[in-house]
Amino acid sequence: MTGTLNPNGLPTIYYWQWGTSSSYGNTLPAPPFFPVNSPLYLNADLWGLSMDTTYHYQLVASNSAGSVATADLSFSTPGIISTQGHVFTYVRDGGTITITGYSGPGGRVTVPNAVGGLPVTAITNSVFGGLTNLTGVSFPDTVTSLGDGTFSGCTSLQTVMLPPKLTWIGDYSFAVCAGITNIIIPTGVTNIGEGAFSLCTSLTNLTVPGNVAGIGDYAFEVCTNLMGLYFRGNAPSVGLYIFTNCDNVTVYYLPGTTGWGPTFGGRPAVLGRPAVLWNPQVQTGDGMFGVQQNVFGFNIGGTPDIPLVVEASTNLAAQSWVPLQSSTLTNGSVYFSDPQWTNFPGRFYRIRSP
C-alpha cells in the first residue's frame, strides 16, 4: 500500500485501513511523524493475502489541524489458471483479465479467452520473454494490447496469431525472435514500439496496416533478411535507426497515401531508404487479357521491379485464396497465365504484396 502525507509542521499520527471491500475492516497502525513541513512518501506491506482477490485500502491521518483520508484505493492479487500443463497467472482489472505470467512446457500455447466469465484483454510485459522452447501462440480475439518484451528472446517462435482487436505492440515485443518468418499485424494496430522486431533475422516481408501512426526507435534493427516493408496507409512518424543493419529492405507505399518522399519519413541522413510506389494493375485493354492459345492470362503493369503475388479463389465469400505465381515487374510489366483455368467453373484473381 502506498500514499503521500504532508504533516504541515505538526505532530501527526496515521494508519491504514484495508479489506476486501470499501468498508475495510482491518487497521494497520504506524508510528507518529516528526513535525516536518514537506511531503512524506509512505508504504506498508500486507501478508497472507488470498489469490485472485481485489483489496481496498485507505490512508487516514490526523493532527491538531484535523483529520484527512485518501480516496478508496485498490489492488488485485494474481490468480492462477491451468490448462493441459500450461499455467497462467492473471489479475482482474475491473471487468477484464490481464495475463501477467506463464509457466509450462512451451511448444504451441493457447492463451485462455476468459477467466471466471471475464474476458482476457491484455498481456503484460515479458509474459513469454526468454522462453526458448515456445514455438507458437494463439490469442483470444478480445486481447487489445501486448506489453513490452512479451516475446523477447523466444528464439524458437515461428507462428503468432495476433488477435484482430489488437491496437498496441509494445517495446521489444518480438525482439530476438529469430525463428519468425512471417507475422500479420491486425488492421487496428496504431503503434509499433521501440525495437519491436529487432533481430528478427528470419523475417522477410511485413505489411504495416493503415492505422499505424508511429514506429519506435530500432524497430527493425538487424532484421538482416527483411526485404519488403509494405505500408497500407499514410507515412507514419518514425524513430531513429529503425533499419540499422537492414541492408536489403525496401519500403513500399500505396497510391493515394500521403507523406511519402524519395526516402522513408523524409529523413535520408537517418534512414536512407527509398520509398517505392506499389501500384500493380491488371491491364484489361491491351489485347492480352483473356484466353490466349487456350490459356487464360493477363498483363500486369506498374512501378518497375516491384514484387507481387497473384492469387486465385473459387469462393469469394469463404475468402479462400491460393497463391499461383510470385513475380517481379521487370521493366514495369509481367504476364500472368493460369494453365489450370479450365478445371474450374469460375475463378477469381487478385494481386497482393509478398
Position 343 scores a pLDDT of 93
Q: Which of 244, 277, 310 is the last residue of a domain?
A: 277
Mean pLDDT to the nearest integer, 32-42? 81
Q: Is the pLDDT of residue 313 over 90?
A: yes
For residues 273 and 287, membership in a common domain is answered with no
Confidence of residue 266 (pLDDT cuts 50, 70, 90): very low
User: Domain holding 255: CATH number?
Assistant: 3.80.10.10
Number of H helices, E strands in the chain: 0, 31
For residues 205 and 99, membership in a common domain is answered with yes
Q: Pick from 18, 37, 36: which is nearest to 27 by CA? A: 18
Confidence of residue 271 (pLDDT cuts 50, 70, 90): low
User: Domain holding 37: CATH number?
Assistant: 2.60.40
> Which residue range is the domain that position 45 belongs to?
2-75
Residue 325 C-alpha cell reads as: 505465381
One-letter amino acid of 84: Q
For residues 149 and 15, membership in a common domain is answered with no
Mean pLDDT to the nearest integer, 164-184? 94
Q: What angle do CA 38, 44, 45 make, to 5 degrees?
A: 160
What element of type H or E holds 297?
A: strand 295-301
Q: Return d(Cα 119, Cα 127) in angstroms, integer.
A: 18
Q: Which of 245, 277, 309 is the last residue of a domain?
A: 277
Residues of the chain above pLDDT 90, percent: 79
Helix (H, G, I), strand (E, B) or coil at 332: helix
Position 293 scores a pLDDT of 86
Q: Which of 75, 108, 138 is the last residue of a domain?
A: 75
- The gap between the terminal CA atoms of the chain, to the nearest Å, is 52
For residues 181 and 293, membership in a common domain is answered with no
Confidence of residue 160 (pLDDT cuts 50, 70, 90): confident
Mean pLDDT to the nearest integer, 242-253? 89
Position 34 scores a pLDDT of 67
Greatest alpha-carbon span in the chain = 101
The domain tally of the chain equals 3
Q: Is the pLDDT of residue 265 over 70?
A: no
Confidence of residue 268 (pLDDT cuts 50, 70, 90): very low
For residues 201 and 95, membership in a common domain is answered with yes
For residues 243 and 115, membership in a common domain is answered with yes
Please state whether 39 falls in left (phi above 0), alpha (psi between -120 and 50) or beta.
beta
For residues 265 and 316, membership in a common domain is answered with no
Average per-residue pLDDT in the chain?
91
Q: What does each C-alpha distance from 325 to 279, 336, 345 come to in angstroms?
A: 17, 8, 20
For residues 219 and 149, membership in a common domain is answered with yes
Position 319 scores a pLDDT of 84
| Long-range contacts of 249-254, Cβ-Cβ distance < 8 Å, separation of 24 or more | 249/220, 249/223, 249/273, 250/274, 250/276, 251/275, 251/276, 252/228, 252/276, 252/277, 252/278, 252/306, 252/353, 253/277, 253/278, 254/278, 254/279
For residues 138 and 198, membership in a common domain is answered with yes
Helix (H, G, I), strand (E, B) or coil at 342: helix
For residues 30 and 104, membership in a common domain is answered with no
Mean pLDDT to the nearest integer, 41-54? 92
pLDDT one-digit tens code per residue, 74-89? 998 999 999 889 999 9
What element of type H or E holds 308?
A: strand 307-313
Position 84 scores a pLDDT of 87
Confidence of residue 122 (pLDDT cuts 50, 70, 90): very high
For residues 262 and 115, membership in a common domain is answered with yes
For residues 273 and 294, membership in a common domain is answered with no
Q: Pick from 296, 307, 306, 280: which is nearest to 336 by CA? A: 296
Mean pLDDT to the nearest integer, 38-46? 90
The structure's pTM equals: 0.82
Q: Return d(Cα 134, Cα 149) in angstroms, integer.
A: 14
Position 275 scores a pLDDT of 86
Position 352 scores a pLDDT of 95
Mean pLDDT to the nearest integer, 113-119? 93
Confidence of residue 274 (pLDDT cuts 50, 70, 90): confident
Mean pLDDT to the nearest integer, 236-252? 89
Please tell me the least confidently modeled range out of 210-224, 268-282, 290-304, 308-322.
Answer: 268-282
Confidence of residue 261 (pLDDT cuts 50, 70, 90): confident
Confidence of residue 269 (pLDDT cuts 50, 70, 90): very low
Mean pLDDT to the nearest integer, 222-240? 93
Mean pLDDT to the nearest integer, 305-319? 93
